[in-house]
C-alpha cells in the first residue's frame, strides 16, 4: 500500500470526490458529496457491495433525532457524551463524541427525509450503556436492507459505484495532498485516477491477521466474523502519510455467535432472563455486563464454547422481530426439551447442571440480590418449559481504532494539523469507544460509519469544489 510520490504523473480523468469502499460509510459520504453538488465516484474492491454493513444487524445509535421527538423521548448531545464517557471510563475522544452527539440525529433525519432511508427508533433492546433508546434500524431489521436502501439512494442521486476496483496506492505530493488513486482490477491491470478529495471508507483491520495480532493480541487466534475485505488499507496509507492513529486496541467481539452456523444469537434472549453456561454446565460470567467484549470470557471456556439457555416464550418473542433467530430456527440450531434433564442430554451437559444454575437464578430473582457473578435476575420472568439452548462461540466482529479525524472527519497528523484533502469515517477512523473492548456502545459501528460518512462527504465536496473554483 505505498504512497506514490511521482509528481510528473498526469491523470487522464480526475473526479472531484472519490470514496474508497461502498459500505454504509462510503455510500453515505457519496450521498452527502452529491448533495453538496460534487461529482462523486465510489471505488469498491468486491464484485458487489457487501462489507461489514451487510453482515450487521443494521442498528445505528443516534442522539436527539426526529424519531426521539416523535416518541416524546428527551435526548441531547450532552446526554450522549455523558453516556459515551461513562462507558469508556472517560477514555473516549470527548471532542469527537460531542460532534457525533450533535450530528448523528440530524444525519438520521436527513437520510429519511432526503434519501428515503427510513431508520425508525427501536425499542427491542435499549440499555447496555445508552440511557435512553437510541438504536435506529431499517424496517427490515437488517444490515443488508440498510445497504440496499443506501445503494438505491445513491442511484437516484447519480452517484457512480465502480466495483471490482481495489484501491492499491495513493498518489500524494510532498504536502500530503492526495492527487489520485491507483486502482487494481481482478485481472491484475491497474488504472490511475485523479481526485480532488478522497474519503477513506474501507473499514478497519479485522481481516488482517498480522495487524490483529499486533494491536489486539488477545484476539490473535479468534475467529473473525466481519467482512474479509477489511484488511486495514486505510491505516497503511495513513501511517505512510504521517497521519495520527489511535485506540487500535479497541474492538467489538461478541460471545454469542452460533456454532457452527455463524449467525448472531439475538441479545434479548440474554437480556430478558436467559443465561450462558460452558460445556461443564456452569455459568461463568455476568451475561449483560459487557456484551461487546463477551468473546473474551466465552473463548476462555473449555473448547471456547458455551450454550445460551432460554425458554420457548422468549424464543417466540425473538422469532417475531429477529431475522437471525428465524435463520437459526430454519436450520434447526435451536435445541428444545420439556425438562432440564432432557435438555442436558440434548446438549451433552452434566446431569443436574442446568437445573442447578436455573435454581440459582431463581434464588437471585426471589431475593432481589445479585448472584455470585454480580447479575440480578430481579424483575425478569422465570424460565418456563419447554426450555431451549443454542451453542455459541466468541469472535472478533470489528475493530474500533483508526485514523484520527476532526469535526469534519478530516484526517489529522499527530500535531493536530490536517491532511489537506483526506477524510475518513466508519471503521477506517478512530471511534469513540476508548482503547478497551469494554467501551463499545450498541450501534456505534454504524453510527460512526453514517455520521462521519456524511460529514466526510460534505467536507470533501467543499474542498474539491473550492479547489476547482
Ligand X SMILES: Cc1cc2nc3c(=O)[nH]c(=O)nc-3n(C[C@H](O)[C@H](O)[C@H](O)COP(=O)(O)OP(=O)(O)OC[C@H]3O[C@@H](n4cnc5c(N)ncnc54)[C@H](O)[C@@H]3O)c2cc1C
Cell of residue 223, nine digits: 475467529
Measured from the CB atom, is 170 or 306 closer to ligand X? 170
Q: How far is the CB of 51 from ligand X (least distance, A)?
A: 3
Distance CA 458, CA 36 (A): 6
| Cβ distance to ligand X smaller for residue 36 or 201 | 201
Binding site for ligand X (CB under 6 A): 20-26, 43-46, 49-53, 55-60, 166-167, 201-203, 225-227, 229-230, 233, 264, 397-398, 426-427, 443-447, 449
Q: Which is nearer to ligand X, 91 or 168 (CB)?
A: 168
Give least dist CB 384 to ligand X, A: 29
For residues 451 and 61, the answer to whether their CB atoms sit within 8 Å is no
Name the residue nearer to ligand X (CB basis): 383 or 447.
Answer: 447
Minimum distance between the CB of residue 401 and ligand X, rounded to whole angstroms? 12
Nearest approach, Cβ of 201 to ligand X (angstroms)? 5
* Residue 130 vs 391, nearer CB to ligand X: 130
Alpha carbon distance 387, 405 (integer Å)? 48
Rounded to the nearest whole angstrom, what is the least distance from the CB of residue 291 to ligand X in the complex?
Answer: 11
Of 254 and 412, nearer to ligand X (C-beta) is 254
Give the count of beta carbons closer than 10 Å to the beta carbon of residue 299: 22
Maximal CA-CA distance, the chain: 77
Give the shortest CB-21-to-ligand X separation in angstroms.
Answer: 3
Residue 208 or 364: the one with the smaller Cβ distance to ligand X is: 208
| Smallest gap from residue 42 Cβ to ligand X (A) | 9
Q: Could you give the dihedral angle defined by the CA atoms of residues 452, 458, 461 and 467, in that order, rounded to the nearest 10 degrees? A: -100
**Taking the complex as a whole, how short is the minimal distance between the CB of residue 337 and ligand X, in angstroms?**
29
CB of 388 to ligand X, least distance (A): 22
Give the integer Cα–Cα distance in Å for 12 and 7: 15
Nearer of residues 50 and 275 to ligand X, judged by Cβ: 50
Query: Minimal distance in Å, beta carbon 360 to ligand X?
Result: 31
CB nearer ligand X, residue 53 or residue 261:
53
Nearer to ligand X, 237 or 310 (CB): 237
Amino acid at each position: 500500500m505505498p504512497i506514490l510520490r511521482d509528481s510528473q504523473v498526469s491523470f487522464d480523468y480526475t473526479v472531484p470526490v472519490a470514496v474508497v469502499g461502498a459500505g454504509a460509510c462510503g455510500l453515505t459520504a457519496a450521498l452527502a458529496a452529491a448533495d453538496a453538488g460534487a461529482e462523486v465516484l465510489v471505488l469498491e474492491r468486491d464484485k458487489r457491495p457487501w462489507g461489514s454493513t451487510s453482515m450487521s444487524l443494521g442498528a445505528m445509535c443516534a442522539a436527539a433525532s426526529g424519531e426521539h421527538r416523535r416518541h416524546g423521548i428527551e435526548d441531547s448531545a450532552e446526554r450522549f457524551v455523558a453516556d459515551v464517557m461513562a462507558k469508556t471510563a472517560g477514555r473516549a475522544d470527548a471532542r469527537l463524541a460531542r460532534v457525533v452527539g450533535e450530528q448523528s440525529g440530524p444525519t438520521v433525519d436527513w437520510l429519511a427525509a432526503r434519501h428515503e432511508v427510513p431508520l425508525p427508533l427501536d425499542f427491542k433492546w435499549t440499555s447496555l450503556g445508552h440511557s435512553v433508546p437510541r438504536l435506529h434500524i431499517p424496517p427490515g431489521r437488517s444490515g443488508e436492507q440498510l445497504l440496499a436502501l443506501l445503494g438505491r439512494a445513491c442511484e437516484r442521486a447519480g452517484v457512480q459505484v465502480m466495483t471490482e476496483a481495489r484501491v492499491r496506492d495513493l498518489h500524494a505530493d510532498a504536502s500530503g495532498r492526495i492527487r489520485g488513486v491507483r486502482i487494481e482490477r481482478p485481472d491484475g491491470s491497474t488504472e490511475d485516477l485523479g481526485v480532488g478529495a478522497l474519503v477513506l471508507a474501507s473499514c478497519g483491520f479485522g481481516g488482517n491477521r498480522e495487524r490483529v495480532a499486533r494491536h489486539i493480541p488477545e484476539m490473535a487466534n479468534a475467529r473473525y466474523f466481519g467482512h474479509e475485505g477489511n484488511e486495514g488499507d486505510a491505516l497503511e496509507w495513513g501511517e505512510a502519510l504521517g497521519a495520527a492513529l489511535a485506540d487500535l486496541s479497541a474492538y467489538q467481539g461478541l460471545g454469542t455467535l452460533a456454532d457452527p452456523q455463524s449467525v448472531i444469537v439475538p441479545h434479548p434472549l440474554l437480556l430478558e432472563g436467559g443465561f450462558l453456561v460452558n460445556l461443564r454446565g456452569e455459568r461463568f460470567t455476568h451475561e449483560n455486563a459487557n456484551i461487546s467484549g463477551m468473546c473474551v470470557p466465552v473463548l476462555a471456556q473449555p473448547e471456547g464454547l458455551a450454550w445460551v439457555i432460554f425458554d420457548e416464550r422468549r424464543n417466540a418473542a425473538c422469532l417475531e422481530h429477529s431475522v437471525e433467530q428465524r435463520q437459526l430456527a430454519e436450520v434447526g440450531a435451536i435445541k428444545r426439551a420439556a425438562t432440564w434433564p432432557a435438555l442436558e442430554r440434548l446438549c451433552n451437559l452434566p446431569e443436574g447442571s442446568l437445573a442447578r444454575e436455573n435454581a440459582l437464578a431463581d434464588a437471585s430473582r426471589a431475593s432481589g440480590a445479585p448472584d455470585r457473578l454480580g447479575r440480578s435476575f430481579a424483575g425478569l420472568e422465570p424460565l418456563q418449559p419447554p426450555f431451549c439452548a443454542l451453542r455459541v462461540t466468541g469472535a472478533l466482529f470489528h475493530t474500533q481504532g483508526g485514523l484520527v479525524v476532526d469535526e469534519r472527519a478530516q484526517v489529522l497528523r499527530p500535531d493536530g494539523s490536517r491532511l489537506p484533502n483526506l477524510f475518513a469515517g466508519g471503521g477506517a477512523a478512530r471511534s469513540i469507544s476508548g482503547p478497551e473492548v469494554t467501551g463499545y456502545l450498541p450501534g456505534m459501528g454504524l453510527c460512526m460509519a453514517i455520521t462521519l460518512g456524511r460529514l466526510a462527504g460534505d467536507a470533501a465536496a467543499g474542498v474539491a469544489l473550492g479547489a476547482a473554483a
